[in-house]
Amino acid sequence: MCGVAGIVRADPRRPVEEDRLLRMARALRHRGPDGFGLARDDGAGFVSARLAIFDLPGGWQPIEATPGGGLIVYNGEVYNHPELRGELSREGVGFSTTTDTEVVLRMLERDGLSALDRFNGQFAFGWWQPRERRLVLVRDRFGVRPLYWAQLADGTLAFGSEVCSLFASGLVDPAPDLLGIDEVFTLWGTRPPRTVFRGVQQLPPGGLLVWQNGHIVEQRSWWTSAPWTAPPQEHDLDSLLRDSVRLRLRADVPVGAYLSGGLDSSLISALAQETTGSRLRTFSVAFTNELYDERAYQEEVAAALGTSHHVVEAGSQEIADAFPDVVLHAETPMVRTAPVPLYLLAREVREQGITVVATGEGADELFWGYDLFKEVALRRLHAQDPTRAEELLNRLYPYLGAGAARRGPAWRQFILQTGAGDDPLSSHLTRVEATATVKAFYSDDVAAELAAADPLERLRSDLPAGFGELSALERASWLEVTTLLEPYLLATQGDRMAMAHGVEGRYPFLDHRVFAASVGLPPEQKLDGIENDKVALRRLADEVLPPSIARRPKQPYRAPEVEPFFAQGAPEWIEQLVSPEALERVGLWDPARVSGLLRRCRAGKATGIREGMAFVGILSTQLWHESFFGEDRRSFVPEDLGPRVSMDRMGHPATGATV
């Protein structure tokens, strides 16, 4: 696991300056705190900041297949690398490291891009073929690992694991992308390839890009989460999930697990403990505010499994204090504070000497665990039995009890009717409408500029052929995977928070075989009726977890939104950052409207989810803007440590064959 970056120029006679590469490496140091390496070729340069997981002494990057030949900078893990290594070894392929990185490179050199289908893991990499002057950028199936790129007018392409590395190169100037920002305030994140930075794109999950001699010659998906493409699986879900956990425990360093207290992470922890047979180290976030706190369940699981358990408590002050760093690392505005406790948790995990954690993301999307899926099912039931549907609806969203959104007849009508039409996005419209509250605070100029650009229209027009053939629940699942899982849960709340502290998250539910098995299940094995969710997972959980956990209804993971920033002792920078002057300076928000919201926040009246999202959206946008575009914006300095690998390949023709 690492941070990677590089620059390739159309003209091979134009060298990539070492200073640029050193700045890119330094910008990514948090992703790879163990050291860095770089390689310079004719009109090309690559860096890798390394988090050592495999082959600790020898696995430095970049790695080249032959002196001057094909080269890779690689972020992530291919978990089945020992099997692939064995296959290559039997053919006489030699290795100089025991890393998965080298296996990936040699597989690519042997099979070309068809090798991607063989990789089981989470990865993003740049593969450089010097003879052809071709760079291939690849991102894993679900987009667990990020990869950004920008192309300049002269054909130069810069890429990196985080946007900051592109800015650090000095080749890409930061500029906000209003459409990207508007997507965040619609779907919680931007849909790839869009980002919140103009001119900066991200590779879609399962996507690849080929650049050659100054031109992008190919951009396509090498894998898709469209359910109709999922092949039938030879093995059943239980054995695939067990195998996925087994593979994801592979590392030359200790692997821990996050434990939320809910079904998904508890199941992963139980299977991990079962696989290793040794005492697993588990880590949890607890909240001082009991509305959000799940520690009783976490402790119950830890005790039942006998894990070595560690709890990080997030209070108001910790959340407010960490928020600027969270936004800086997320590199995006956000509508929730939920990433903050995960940032605090990763910091603690790192301090405890753990750099790899297994975690439960993906289960709710693949096995229909969110209340959003139940809403979809309820709408169908409502047409047949409205009384029963309304009764069941009252059991959803228990956390909405407080605040403005009371659950009376108007709320029921809203939930049951908002998504009842034939809009392909119907499953998501209630969330979209709630989130859109943030947009009420746009400045007039911003609102006018965005008036003709509807992010939902863009999404509708991007829906793949075949989407219309899916059931309503399958559509909802696909939309969750493509609009929430990668853009928000795996990126803003996942990769960025963990990698801020050099901690790698691993996601057993996102093994592509597990995904395919989930697609192949009968619908009632995911959601049976209205209330019985994640049926197939709960059946497995019955074998390995206490009934109180295996059968526990889902509690959405949330964190306090307004209160931390207005509690006694809240940091002074908050009021400064949302002052009329600061709002005018940034120009995205209407100061008069925001001042009304702030009055309600200060008075403790902004207790609803919508106002919470609005405030967090505004505050995070202000922080994001100041961090990347403000007078005191982040500056980039070169890496001052010595490289662990430094290759100068300029002017030297490759001595080995490349594909």
Partner 1 sequence: MTTEGHVDVRADVRQYVQENFLYMRPDVTLDDQDDLLDLGIIDSLGFVELVEEVQVRYGITVQDVDITEENFGSVDSIVRYVEGRRAAG
Shortest distance, position 435 Cβ to partner 1, whole Å: 10
Cβ nearer to partner 1, comparing 245 with 389:
389
CA nearest to 182, candidates 629, 588, 488: 588
Helices (H), 126-218: 163-168, 178-187
Span from 221-229, 436-444, 519-527, 570-578 in contact with partner 1 (CB under 8 A): 436-444
Nearer to partner 1, 384 or 655 (CB): 384
The span of 320-328, 407-415, 558-566, 646-654 binding partner 1 (CB under 8 A) equals 407-415
The binder of partner 1 chosen from 175, 217, 404, 641 (CB under 8 A): 404
Query: Which of the ranges 289-297, 365-373, 429-437, 448-456 carries the binding residues for partner 1, by CB under 8 A?
Result: 429-437
Angle of helix 371-384 versus helix 472-480 axis, rounded to 10: 160
405 counts as binding partner 1 under rule CB under 8 A: yes
Q: Does 304 bind partner 1 (CB under 8 A)?
A: no
Closest CA to 442 of 272, 633, 592: 592
Measured CA to CA, the distance from residue 229 to residue 141 in angstroms comes to: 13
Q: How many residues bind partner 1 (CB under 8 A)?
A: 26
Please state whether beta strands 207-212 and 134-139 pair in parallel, antiparallel, or not at all (unpaired). antiparallel
Is there a contact between 329 and 610 (Cβ–Cβ < 8 Å)? no
Determine, following the binding rule CB under 8 A, whether residue 436 of this chain makes contact with partner 1: yes
Please report whether residue 419 would count as binding partner 1 according to CB under 8 A: no
Residue of 242, 593, 634, 644 that binds partner 1 (CB under 8 A)? 593
> Cβ 229 to partner 1, closest distance in Å?
36
Cβ nearer to partner 1, comparing 87 with 449: 449
Q: Exactly one of 274, 348, 433, 528 binds partner 1 (CB under 8 A); which one?
A: 433
| Site membership for partner 1, residue 608 (CB under 8 A) | yes
Indicate the pairing of strand 281-287 with strand 527-528: unpaired
Q: Any residues with CB less than 8 A from the CB of 278 and at least 6 apart, and which? A: none
Please identify which residue in 222, 411, 467, 629 interacts with partner 1, judged by CB under 8 A: 411
The span of 219-227, 282-290, 300-308, 403-411 binding partner 1 (CB under 8 A) equals 403-411
What ranges make up the beta strands (E) of 54-113? 63-64, 71-78
- What is 372-399 written as a DSSP string? HHHHHHHHHHHHH-HHHHHHHHTTS-GG
- Using DSSP, state whether 27 is helix, strand or coil: helix
The DSSP string of 33-62 is TT-EEEEEETTEEEEEEE---SSTTT--S-
Q: How far apart are CA 102 and CA 54, in angstroms?
A: 11
Residues 488-507 that bind partner 1 (CB under 8 A): none
Report the nearest approach of partner 1 to the CB of residue 592 (Å): 4
State the nearest-atom distance from the C-beta of 601 to partner 1, in Å: 11
Stretch near partner 1 under the rule CB under 8 A, chosen from 287-295, 404-412, 449-457, 461-469: 404-412
Interface residue with partner 1, options 57, 92, 409, 569 (CB under 8 A): 409
Strand partners, 45: 7, 40
- Burial of 472 (C-beta count, 10 Å sphere; 0-12/13-18/19+): middle
* Minimal distance, residue 425 CB to partner 1, in Å: 15
Q: Which of 96, 239, 308, 413 binds partner 1 (CB under 8 A)?
A: 413
In 3-state terms the chain splits into helix, strand, coil percentages (rounded to 5) of 45, 15, 40
Stretch that binds partner 1, among 26-34, 185-193, 245-253, 588-596 (CB under 8 A): 588-596
Residue from 395, 599, 602, 633 binding partner 1 (CB under 8 A) = 599
Residue 437 interacting with partner 1 (CB under 8 A): yes
Restricting to residues 609-648, which ones interact with partner 1 according to CB under 8 A? 610
Q: Which residues pair with 527 in a beta bridge?
A: 533
Pairing mode of beta strands 281-287, 308-314: parallel
Distance CA 68, CA 130 (A): 8
- Give the residue from 492, 553, 609 showing the smallest Cα distance to 190: 492
Per residue in 229-248, is it b (16+ CB within 10 Å) or e — as a string?
ebeebeeebeebbbbbbbbb
- Reported as type and span, the H/E element at residue 201 is strand 201-202
Q: Least separation, in Å, of the C-beta of 411 and partner 1?
A: 5
Three-state DSSP at 209 gives: strand
Can residue 441 be called a binding residue for partner 1 (CB under 8 A)?
yes
Q: Which of 82, 91, 83 is nearest to 109 (CA)?
A: 91
| Least distance to partner 1, CB of residue 597, Å | 7
| Binding flag, residue 596, partner 1 (CB under 8 A) | yes
- Does residue number 518 form part of the binding site for partner 1 (CB under 8 A)? no
Residue 551 makes contact with partner 1 by CB under 8 A: no
The stretch near partner 1 (CB under 8 A) out of 272-280, 361-369, 398-406, 568-576 is 398-406
CA distance 415 to 413: 6
What's the min distance (Å) between Cβ of 401 and partner 1?
Answer: 12
Stretch that binds partner 1, among 4-12, 113-121, 258-266, 428-436 (CB under 8 A): 428-436
CA distance 372 to 427: 7
Strands 201-202 and 308-314: unpaired
Judged by CB under 8 A, does residue 418 bind partner 1?
yes
Q: Which is nearer to partner 1, 190 or 418 (CB)?
A: 418
Q: Which is nearer to partner 1, 410 or 465 (CB)?
A: 410
Q: Which residues pair with 256 in a beta bridge?
A: 357
Q: Contact positions toward partner 1, by CB under 8 A?
A: 404-411, 413-414, 418, 433-434, 436-437, 440-441, 592-593, 596-597, 599-600, 605, 608, 610
